[in-house]
Amino acid sequence: MQRINYHATNKDLFKALLTAQSYLENATIERNLMHLIDMRVSQINGCAYCLDMHSKDLRHEGDSEQRLYLLSAWREAGDLFTPRERAALGWAEAVTRLTDQEVPDAVYAEAREQFSEAELADLTYVITMINTWNRFNVAFRTPAGSYQPGQHSAAA
């Protein structure tokens, strides 16, 4: 059962979060890659609301069911994910988990092979934003299932 509907309870907070999120509309990272990262980070954090949202957004934008099903096992999925996507997924997992309070040099090196400094900064922003959304939605048990593709983009 939902604890707090922070979207309605504190509209200024929700507006501020949407404003922070709106930076990504013009970021250097491809929209599909952003949704892929959002989905993977939401899997790690167990955020049902965001998993519902980003799986619908990915399908709406033409991504395959197979990629969605294998996202949590992307390392074993062969060539299903591009080198750029693989580097981004590795970076997203390391930044989200911060194992031993660091992001390993090898993960950084792989990310830098695929992303410019500006792109890597934007990618890190994608990751920190979805972690923020996950924490609100998990903490307040935001119910999943009712999201429609583009719903929050239109609200911004």
For 4-39, the pLDDT digits (tens) are 998 899 899 999 999 999 999 999 999 999 999 999
155: pLDDT strictly greater than 70:
no
Band the pLDDT of 156: cuts 50, 70, 90: very low
Domains and CATH numbers, the chain: 10-140 (1.20.1290.10)
Band the pLDDT of 153: cuts 50, 70, 90: low
Instruction: Tell me the pTM.
Output: 0.92
From CA 148, how far away is CA 74, in angstroms rounded? 26
For 39-93, the pLDDT digits (tens) are 999 999 999 999 999 999 999 999 999 999 999 999 999 999 999 999 999 999 9
SS (H, E, C) 2-62: CCCCHHHHCHHHHHHHHHHHHHHHHCCCCHHHHHHHHHHHHHHHCCHHHHHHHHHHHHHCC
CA distances in angstroms from 128 to 34, 61, 131, 134, listed in the order given = 12, 23, 5, 10
Q: What angle do CA 57, 49, 39 make, to 5 degrees?
A: 50
From CA 131, how far away is CA 154, in angstroms rounded? 21
